[in-house]
Each structure stands twice: as C-alpha cells, then as structure tokens.
Structure 1
Amino acid sequence: MHTKRLMLPSLLSLAMLFAAGTTQAAGTLVPPQGYYAAIDKVKEKAGNFSCDAAPAPYTGALQFRSKYEGSDKSRSTFNATSDEAFKDATKSITSLERDISKVVMQYMRDGRPEQLDCALNLLTSWAKADALESTDFNHTGKSMRKWALGSMASSYLRLKFSDSHPLATRQQEAQIIEAWFSKLGTQVVSDWDNLPLDKTNNHSYWAAWAVMATSVATNRKDLFDWSVKEFRLAATQVDQDGFLPNELKRKQRALAYHNYALAPLAMIASFAQVNGVDLRPENNGALKRLGDQVLAGVKSPDAIASRSGESQDMTDLKADNKYAWLEPYCSLYSCAPDVLDRKHKMQPFKNPRLGGDVTKVYDPSHDKGDKGGT
C-alpha cells in the first residue's frame, strides 16, 4: 500500500522548476491550433444519438492488480488471471475514458445539444463525487489516475477552446470540472514527482502528458512547468542511439514500449511549443532521435533486439492506432516522404488517452472520418 497526502507543490519545488530555466508564455496557456476547430456541421436532427448511462464514479482505493503480476523485473510476461481481475476492478474508469472521448468526438462532428449534455453530465457527476482522488493507491492505481486524467482533460480541451464556444453558456459546469481536474493534476504531480531515474519510464511520461493537458484546461502554469521538467528529464534518458534504457529492460516488448513512450512525449513537446517553449533541442534532439529509432525498429527490429537481448514481440506494433504519436511528431519535424505516406495510410488516429481523434487536431485535411473504435 502506498499512501500520500493530497498537497500542493511546495514553494521550494516551484523555485527549483524556475531555476531549471523553464520559460513561460505570458498570459493564458493554449493548446495547438487544431483544438480551436469549430463543430464540423450542426446536425440537430440527423441520425440517432443515445447517451449511455454514465459509469458510476470511482471513489474507492486505487489498489489494483497488474497484468504483469508475477513477472520478473522486465515486467513483460502477461498474466491473464490478474489482467481479468484488473479489468473488472477498473471497468468504470476505463469506461469513463472511452465514453468521454467518444461523446466529445460525436459532439464536435454533429454539434447536437444532447451530445454536449452527455459529455458534461459525465464529467460533472465524477467531479461532484470527488472520484479518483483516493490517496490509498499502488503503482497500478496511480497509473489509472493519470491515464484517466489525460483522457478527460485532453478531450475537454476540444470543448473549451473550440471556436464554436460550446461552454459559453455552461460555465457553472465548466468550473466544477476544471476545479476537479486541478485537484487531480496536483495529485498526479505528487504521485510521480522526483522518482529515481531507474524508476522513471513511460509511466512518468504519461503522467506528464496528463498534467500538460490539465495545465492548459485549468490555466495552471505550475502544472505546465512540471510537465516541461519531466519532458526534459525524459530527454536526458534517450541515449546517443535513440534508446531508452528503462524501456530496453522490457526485453521482448522493448520496441513496443519505446513506441508507447513516444505518444506522451510528442504531445508534450507540441503543447510546449505553442506556449513558447521549444523542447526539440533537448539533449541534442532526443525526441527526434527516439522517433527515428522506433521507425527504424519497426522496419527491422534487429538493433533493438540486440540491445534488449531478446527478439521483439511485434504484436502491438501491427495496430495502426499505436502510431498516433506521428501526428504531433510530424507537426514538430519535417517527416520523410515515406513516413508521411505511411501516416496517411493509417489515418485517422484515434486514442482516448490523447483526447480522441488526434488526426482531426493535427492533420484535418487527411481525416477520413470513422475508422473503427476510439
């Protein structure tokens, strides 16, 4: 069991962030341009829409089993029994992530009032219940908290910043939701701050992405600074060949976890850039080096197999949506023609933990509409 108090970052912690050289854009924090998109076309009567019953707010202890329970230090051997227990215990949380992403995407497509009602009712019901705030948690539990926060906050940004101004007459609900996001953001910082380097891996990056999305949703510059600090720490972990030592430990799943780590890092860099902080030069272009290594590994995993000590399990890497990081990444860099061609063939990319339809945000001219689940 791991118990912590819900607390604001200390003055010393904030002072350290500023001393590290983090710069801030003046005024309001903003998302990348794609988040300002208006509703596609209002369809007040078109089609059927049913707002599924909101999953019950999760207010219990965040103590969950892991799908890698019983694995060695590599944490790469799947345990089907514990995974079933995990899925059963976290069903309401994963339903929340899926549902909020789905409904916000539907609203941004159709603009129907009942879709907006559905999204806001879902978030406010969890906010009013103080859901996901437990300080009784284990590693899997705090992981679920930051994933859920990232999913909710990044979906909410589509509503908050849309040129259609869907929240203009819903400010009471917006205040409730944003106050809750703010509390969760503070707790996620507490959960993941100042970990030893050998314990800082993709989980920390996903926590930093959740905090980045929350910082923009709530206009909290301290959260923005913490996310940038965590990105810079991640950049120092990328070696000269583009590998992450703590993901190499995942043995046969090393390439899959390098790929998985890219999504939050690319999103953070994209958000930082529009707020006046260019993270691309960190550690001599670490993010670009990591992306290049993963793309090379997908073509031929021999190099990463040699470094990790095992042949790579390529199962996860066969799914198009695993490459959603290419959208923010190719907005930061000039991707090679073959990479762009592959990206366009896989679009649209939909990932609830990145806020839904990532292609709609970063490359709307190539969004081909519905392509399965969210």
Structure 2
Amino acid sequence: MQTRKPMRPALLSLAIVATLAWGGTASAAAPLIPPQGYSAPIEKMKTGDNDFRCGPVPQPYTGSLVFRSKYEGSDKARATLNLRAEEAFRDSTKDITDLERGVSKVVMQYMRDGRPEQLDCALNMMTTWAKADALESQDYNHTGKSMRKWALGSLSSAYLRLKFSDSRPLANHQEQAREIEAWFSKLADQVIVDWSNLPLEKINNHSYWAAWSVMSTAVATNRRDLFDWAVKEFKVAANQVDPQGFLPNEVKRRQRALAYHNYALPPLAMIASFAQANGVDLRQENNGALKRLADRVLEGVRDPDEFAAKGGEKQDMTDLKKDPKFAWLEPYCSLYNCDQQVLEEKHEKQPFKTFRLGGDLTRVYDPSHDKDHNK
C-alpha cells in the first residue's frame, strides 16, 4: 500500500489557510432551508389496523404540453369561461393534476400517521414520473408551460415536508430522493426558460407562481441560482404594485380583478417567507408592496366596490368564497403582525389545505390553531 509523505511546514500552512478560506466561503453560502414549520416531526407513528391504500400511479405525462385554455375565445380580459374548452383542458391535464393532488394528500397523511407505506406511495409516484422524464416537453403553449410550473410547485413543496422533517423520513430513501431532486432541478431550469424575459405587460400572477415553483425547488435541491432567480422575480412583481395596492395587469381581468389579485398573493407570500428563512427580507421592496397588496385585497373582499370601479365591472366573488383561496394568510401573518380582525378571519378559515402550496399550510405556519388537521 502506498504511504502518503508528510506535508512540509510551508505547504501545511498554505493548506490550513486554504481550508480556512474554503470554510469561510461555505459558511457564507449556508444551505438553503424552508421556514421553521417544515421541520415538524411526524405527528404519530401509527401501527396496527391500516386502511391506507395507495392506488395506481397516474400515467406519467410525457406528451406535448399544448392544451386548450379555459378562457378560449375570451377577449383581452381573459375573464369569460369557455365551459367546453375548460372540460377539454381538465380532461387532457387530468393525470398531471391527479399526481399533484395525490402526492400532496399522501404526504399530509404520512406526516400525520407515519406509516411506511404512505411514504413509499408518495415517493413511488414522484420517482415514476421522474424516471419517465415527465413534463419536460419542449413543445408547449402558454397553458402547457403554466401546468409545468404549477405541477413543479405542488410537488416540490410537498416534498419539502419529507426532506426537512426532524423525523428524517428520507434517510433510508436516498436514491429515490436523488432521482426526484434531479427531476425537480431539470423542471426548474425549464420553468426559468419558460418565464424569463417577458415584457412587463405580460408579467402577472403566472410569473409569480412560476417564481414560487422555482423557490420551492431551490430549497428542495439547495440551488442558490434558483433562489436568486425567484427573489429577482418577486422584486419585479413587487414593483408592479401601484401606490394604491393594485396590480395593473390583474386589474385588466375586469370582473375577476379582485379574484386575480387574491390569486397573486399565495406565491408572493410564500416566496417572501422562504426568502426570510434564508436571511433575505423582501418586506420593504417597493415601499412595502406586499403589505399594500394584501391590505387592498382584504379591503376588497369586505367591500369590492373599489375593484368594481377599477376593473369596470361588478366583481365575480365566486372564488373568494372558498377558504383555501386565502391560504396566503399563513405565510403572510408569519411575516407581519396581522391585526385582530385579520387573525379572526384567518382562524375562521383554517386549516388551509391547498395542494399547489404543498398541502396543509396551517400545520406548517400555525399548528396551534390547526383545529381540523386530522380530517
């Protein structure tokens, strides 16, 4: 066996200096982490009778990402639903949405029950799609690239619960974790291509959701370049918020202006929360734009007249009657001291479960008020 020669003093000194310098660089670039609530351990390791059934894995979607829009035939406002086109869209994207919902649901069940078969089920769904190079098509339209970023955000944010839990559920699943993270990484690179360099008049809630999917993936894969891109896109969004708290490109949605302002808040609040966890405070961007936007939306929900005047039409409040649409309140109230009225409204709507943000956000951000998480 070959023996290593002792290092000469001069070379030893240089090696120590190099090691210290490297250590300084490494500590400066600390690993990316999610907000503290993602470290929550599995609630209870259940044994005995088990009625859990995984079900079949949705067929990996490897085809062209060209889909019909549910607003097909609408005017520039893109606010009038085309029911026939929507049905075609739902049908053609069913496997993708089933995967998003399925992974989110099973991860939530696993974090509650801790059954190994639940973990196996979630990981198998994701690795099956990863091995098939699903959702990677270069043939896509606006609706197709929208589905890609939504799916990435849903899956990567559910996966964060597994990766960062103090119970370390992935400890014995390292190969699957590598496959999943490599796939997320490829999808995130493509999402950046899909949503970069758009003119300001084209940057709206879709770009914010794209940035959220990249932020979630950045933390899941510890990629600082993805993190930086998401932060940059947040700043673009924040600088679109006008002094009154309106987003001009969402005002264009006329009768859905308020609903789309509200829809812009979940990805922006999540990005700000994840940035804060990694030492980047985005709350002051454009003179407190995020708070200004949130205040405007909350006022609009209570009295939509200003949005009606701004959008030119009476507001469609259908989506705003659905509690999960306000899931953004969880990360938002971790960033700001929400007043008593907002906290009461939040508690009335809890728990907030939405697969596009990775599942049960109340369990992550406000577990003491998660009155219903066992449902």
Structure 2 Cα separation of the partners of residues 183 and 45 of structure 1: 40
1:97 equivalent to 2:131? Answer no
Cα distance in 2 for residues equivalent to 1:264 and 1:105: 20
Shift, 1:231, TM fit = 0.1
Q: Match for 2:181: what amino acid?
A: E
Q: In the alignment, which of 190, 195, 216 is matched to residue 193 of structure 2?
A: 190
Could you tell me how far apart the structure 2 residues matched to 1:45 and 1:369 are?
A: 23
Cα deviations by residue, 1:149-202 (Å, 9 ceiling, x for unpaired): 000000000000000000001000000000000000000000001110000000
Partner residue in 1 for 2:57: 54
Q: C-alpha separation between the residues in 2 aligned to 1:290 and 1:63?
A: 33
When normalised by structure 2's length, the TM-score is 0.92
Aligned 8 A contact 2:42 2:111 in 1 = yes
Deviation at 1:25, TM superposition (A): 6.3
> Structure 2 CA distance, aligned partners of 1:171 and 1:107?
18
Aligned equivalent of 2:162:
159
Whole-angstrom distance in 1 between the partners of 2:272 and 2:373: 27
Is residue 2:333 matched to residue 1:330? yes
Matched residue, 1:142: 145
Q: 1:53: Cα distance to partner?
A: 0.5
Contact kept? 1:348, 1:371, Cα under 8 Å: no
Out of 69, 76, 84, the residue aligned to residue 81 of structure 1 is 84
**Retained in 1: the 8 A contact 2:214–2:227?**
yes
Q: Aligned-pair distance for 1:45?
A: 2.3
Moved more, 43-52 or 338-347: 43-52
Q: CA deviation at 1:73?
A: 0.3
Match of 2:310 in 1: 307
Question: 1:340 is matched with which residue?
Answer: 343
Structure-1 separation of matches of 2:191 and 2:257: 25
Match of residue 110, structure 1, among 90, 110, 113: 113
In the alignment, what sits opposite 1:218?
Answer: 221
CA distance in 1 between counterparts of 2:145 and 2:28 reads 30
Q: List per-residue Cα deviations over 1:18-56 (Å, max 9, x = no partner).
A: xxxxxx962200000000000001002244100010100
1:318-365: CA deviation from partner (whole Å, max 9, x where unpaired)? 011110000000000000101001101110000001000010000000
1:172 aligns with one of 164, 175, 178: 175
1:9 maps to: none
TM-score, normalisation: structure 1:
0.92
CA distance in 1, matches of 2:70, 2:54: 31
What is the rounded CA distance, in whole Å, between the counterparts of 2:113 and 2:322 in structure 1?
Answer: 28
Q: Distance in 2 between matches of 1:178 and 1:224?
A: 15
Contact 2:269–2:332 (CA<8 Å) still a contact in 1? yes
1:237-286 Cα deviation digits (max 9, x unpaired): 00000000000000000000000000000000000001010000000000
Partner of 2:290: 287
Asked if residue 228 in structure 1 is aligned to residue 196 in structure 2, the reply is: no
C-alpha separation in 1, matches of 2:203 and 2:374:
34
Indicate the larger mover: 308-317 or 45-54. Answer: 45-54
Indicate conservation of the 8 Å contact 2:112/2:374, yes or no.
no
CA distance, structure 2, for counterparts of residue 200 and residue 210 of structure 1: 16
Q: Which moved more, 1:302-311 or 1:101-110?
A: 302-311
The separation in 1 between residues aligned to 2:28 and 2:213, in whole angstroms, is 20
**Aligned AA for 2:260?**
Y
Aligned equivalent of 2:272, options 266, 269, 277: 269
Is contact 2:363–2:373 with CA below 8 Å preserved after alignment?
no
Aligned residue for 1:129? 132
Name the counterpart of 1:363: 366
Mapped partners of 1:180, 1:98: distance in 2: 18
Contact 1:76 1:250 in 2 (8 A): yes
Matching residue within 35, 40, 43 for 2:46: 43
Q: How many residues align?
A: 349
Query: Aligned to 2:130, what secondary structure does the other structure show?
Result: helix
- Distance (Å, rounded) in 2 between the aligned partners of 1:255 and 1:77: 15
Q: Percent of counterpart pairs with the same letter? A: 71
Contact 2:283 2:289 in 1 (8 A): yes
In the other structure, the counterpart of 2:31 is 28
Counterpart of 1:179 in structure 2: which amino acid?
A: A
The reply to whether residue 259 of structure 1 matches residue 262 of structure 2 is yes
Q: Quote the residue 1:16 is aligned against.
A: none
Contact 2:254-2:311 within 8 A present in 1 as well: yes
Q: Secondary structure at the match of 1:282?
A: coil
Report the alpha carbon displacement of residue 369 of structure 1 after superposing the two structures with TM. Answer: 2.5
The amino acid across from 2:303 in the alignment is S
Query: Equivalents in 2 of 1:25, 1:296: separation in Å?
Result: 41
C-alpha RMSD of the superposition: 1.1
State the one-letter code of the partner of 2:124.
Answer: N
In 1, distance between residues paired with 2:349 and 2:90? 28
